[in-house]
Amino acid sequence: MWTIPAESVDWLRAQLPDHRFLHARNDQEGLQLIAEADAAFSGYVHPAELQAARRLRWIHTPSAGVGHMLYPDMVASPVIMTNSRGLSAETIAEHVLALVFALFRRLPLAFERQAQRTWAQDEMVAHATAGVPVIAANRHNALPANRTIAGASVLVIGLGGIGRAAAVRLAALGAAVTGVRRQADAPLPPGVTAVHSPSALHGLLPTADVVVLTAPQTAATRNLIGAAELALMKETAVIVNVSRGALIDEDALADALRRRVIGAAALDVFRDEPLDAGHRLWTVPNLLITPHSAGFRSDHWQAATELFADNLRRFDRGEPLLNVVDKSAGY
């Protein structure tokens, strides 16, 4: 369960004094207190809490993704769910750019050499040669050097708020952006040159220099990228996942990076978080890891809390809530 900061709870109490706010600081307190709640502001209500929540009518989550919470009992329940989609779209889109820049410009290698006080100009600018093994001391040198986003072919899978924001920024830097979404016949978003349905994915992967995953986690997107999909990609291709860890088969990705099937990857999300210190992904070559931090900004919790407060006022008045989740669809 995500713990809502005490400052956010204090702000809600000051703004909405007619309500009683119970602050659960751990799962044990959550299981005890949710029995009294009509509404919950939480990143995760687990099955035991749902069963104990006799009065619960509405859950609001401070994240955009809700796939982790759509277990069968939750989907079948009458509890309304709303999320914070759109709140972090700009922030995550900038994180996507940072990851692509870092991989294209070999910044992880530069950071390693800086720590070693080694002048690595030859490594930074030399093109990697096919067949040259990547060793642990030089894990970030398999990509061609001096790549630019200008002229790159980018495939964005999922064109919600995050995908659209990423597409605009990548296109502004000169990339040719293609999108994949369920409603392929909808109007083209800004920055996107073409949109295809998910059935076209296998035909699109071989053309992409960069693949960005921003789709929600659903039954249809689980293991969307596995060994077969990775084998279709360019040897120099980069894949970035800022959505949910379940969209990528992590073992298949680790194998593909070790065997140089693709050039590199950047992951901000993982199937199990936090990533265990003994997980094989920590030592995979040409993999950049960030700790599910893409969506956070300095005012993240204030913005998320204000959105919840707005929806709580709507809830009180019986008005339509913002960002209602279709629990059957998964987003």
| Residue-wise pLDDT tens digits, 144-199 | 777 999 999 999 999 999 999 999 999 999 999 999 999 998 999 999 999 999 99
Q: What is the mean pLDDT of residues 37-50?
A: 97
pLDDT for position 264: 96
Q: Kindly report the average pLDDT of the chain as a whole number.
A: 93
Which candidate, 51, 54, 53, 60, places its Cα nearest to that of 81? 60
**Domains of the chain by start residue, with CATH:** 6-87+297-317 (3.40.50.720), 89-289 (3.40.50.720)
Percent of the chain whose predicted confidence (pLDDT) is above 90: 90
Catalytic positions: 244, 273, 292
Distance between CA atoms of residues 205 and 201, nearest Å: 6
Q: What is the mean pLDDT of residues 303-307?
A: 97
pLDDT for position 328: 93
Residue 180 CB neighbour total at 10 angstroms: 26
pLDDT for position 140: 53
pLDDT for position 282: 98
Q: At 132, is the pLDDT very low, low, confident or very high (cuts 50, 70, 90)?
A: very low
pTM: 0.91
